[in-house]
Amino acid sequence: MSRGKKVAIIGAGNVGATVAYSLAMKGSCHEVVLRDRAPEIAKGKALDMSQAANAARTHTIVSVAEEASDLAGSDVVVITAGSPRKPGMSRDDLLMINADITIQVVADVKKYAPDAVIIMVSNPLDVMTYVALKESGFPRERVLGMAGILDSARMAHFIYEKIGYGAGQIRASVMGGHGDDMVPLPKFSTVAGVPLSDVLDEEQILDVIERTKHGGAEIVGYLKTGSAYYAPAKSTALMVEAILMDTKQIHPCAICFDGEYGYHDVVSGVPVVLGANGAEKIFEVTLSENQKERFAKSVGSVQSMIDVLRDKHYFD
């Protein structure tokens, strides 16, 4: 358990608040600060969570950052701020709105928490991670996007629904962009160590992959007026804890490439070692020709959105 550590969460909506709650319940850090454009709501949630932490007998205090300067001293900054994804809205629709919000928020982080690791959660995830990297000027290992853990968890659950056993023992692997172009990796997916291909036939695996790709949209369809937040928040909290506790655990995270997989200056999700310095190692896994093609399509989708922003002079 890390003591004296501080986590800032910018955006105290469903995802951000649930990240804070998850960290507070485990006592993962000494202090969580919430920053939101609705400070009174953030204050209410912070007070409620601090009381919950006392019920759980953890030492975490949850407070509100009323000024940007209250971000000072943060070890990790989680950014969930942005316009929510609504039914019928693609992640691409959110591009311009959330790029502007991200630039504004990251400018505060750069000024007041220059040594922090940034974890982006806002959509479209991979592009917002790129925007945050460019705006902050931080080294790439300290600007990461949360998507791979979430997508892997969704795939694991859909595998469980197919087979009906092994809950908690299923390890699914996903890489690429967060969205319809993600690249699930059945070859690296197991049930209690047994290869997925020994448990499900090819048609069943393809069905799992399709459902994983649309896992977020399925939840949006049920909720009608919102999107998923329990699984995204827990996935984010896992990243925060790996960084705070310097665990060196391997998780799929979005990061800017510098030659890995043959790509430069574009963000996508790949397995990385998470520690106190952020992404401390990037793994280049062996892909089949089909997976290389799908990964190229996924990277190309992110690149096209970066190009849209570049054409609008976001990165001058």
Say whether 178 is catalytic: yes
DSSP output for the chain: ---S-EEEEE--SHHHHHHHHHHHHHT-SSEEEEE-SSHHHHHHHHHHHHHHHHHHT---EEEE--SGGGGTT-SEEEE--SPPP-TT--GGGGHHHHHHHHHHHHHHHHHH-TTPEEEE-SSSHHHHHHHHHHHH---GGGEEE--HHHHHHHHHHHHHHHHS--TT-EE--EEB-SSTT-EE-GGG-EETTEEGGGTS-HHHHHHHHHHHHTHHHHHHHHHSS----HHHHHHHHHHHHHHHTT--EEEEEEEEEESGGG-EEEEEEEEEEEETTEEEEE------HHHHHHHHHHHHHHHHHHHHHHHTTTT-
Candidate list 30, 178, 251, 264, residue with the active-site label: 178
Supply the residues annotated as catalytic.
178
